[in-house]
Amino acid sequence: DIQMTQSPSSVSASVGDRVTITCRASQGIGSWLAWYQQKPGKAPKLLIYAASSLQSGVPSQFSGSGSGTDFTLTISSLQPEDFATYYCQQAHSFPITFGQGTRLEIK
C-alpha cells in the first residue's frame, strides 16, 4: 500500500498569511494526487486534483504542486473560511489512501 504522510499535523496562522502543507508518498505516484478540505461536521470538499489542477469553483488562493513523491498545497492569503483540516489522497492505485490530515487553526 502507498503511505501518505502530511506535515505539519497542525499549523496556526493568521488571516492574510501564506501557508504551505506538504504531502509525501511512500512511492512515486506521478501526478496522481488530490487535496481535500474538511470543516468540522461537514463532508470533505475536493480542492485540487492531478496535483495542480484547481477543481471548478475553488478560489484561486489555493494551488498545488509536485510530482513523484513530494507535493505541496499552498494557500496564498488565508481567509477566515479557510480554517479547516486538509487531506491529501493518492489516486495512483488501490487501495486509495489519504494522509493523516493537517489542521489549520487561527492564531
Binding site for other proteins (CB under 8 A): 1, 32, 34, 36, 38, 42-46, 49-50, 55, 87, 89, 91-92, 94-101
Dihedral of alpha carbons 53, 55, 57, 61, sign: negative
> Could you report how far apart the first and last alpha carbons of the chain are, in Å?
36
Tell the smallest beta-carbon distance from residue 12 to other proteins (Å): 19
Cell numbers of 94, please?
A: 488501490
14 or 43: CB nearest other proteins: 43
Tell the smallest beta-carbon distance from residue 15 to other proteins (Å): 26
Tell the smallest beta-carbon distance from residue 39 to other proteins (Å): 12
Between CA 90 and CA 95 the distance in angstroms is: 9
Output the 3-class SS for 16-70. Answer: CCCEEEEEEECCCCCCCEEEEEECCCCCCEEEEECCCEECCCCCCCEEEEEECCE
27 or 77: CB nearest other proteins: 27
16 or 57: CB nearest other proteins: 57
Tell the smallest beta-carbon distance from residue 77 to other proteins (Å): 25
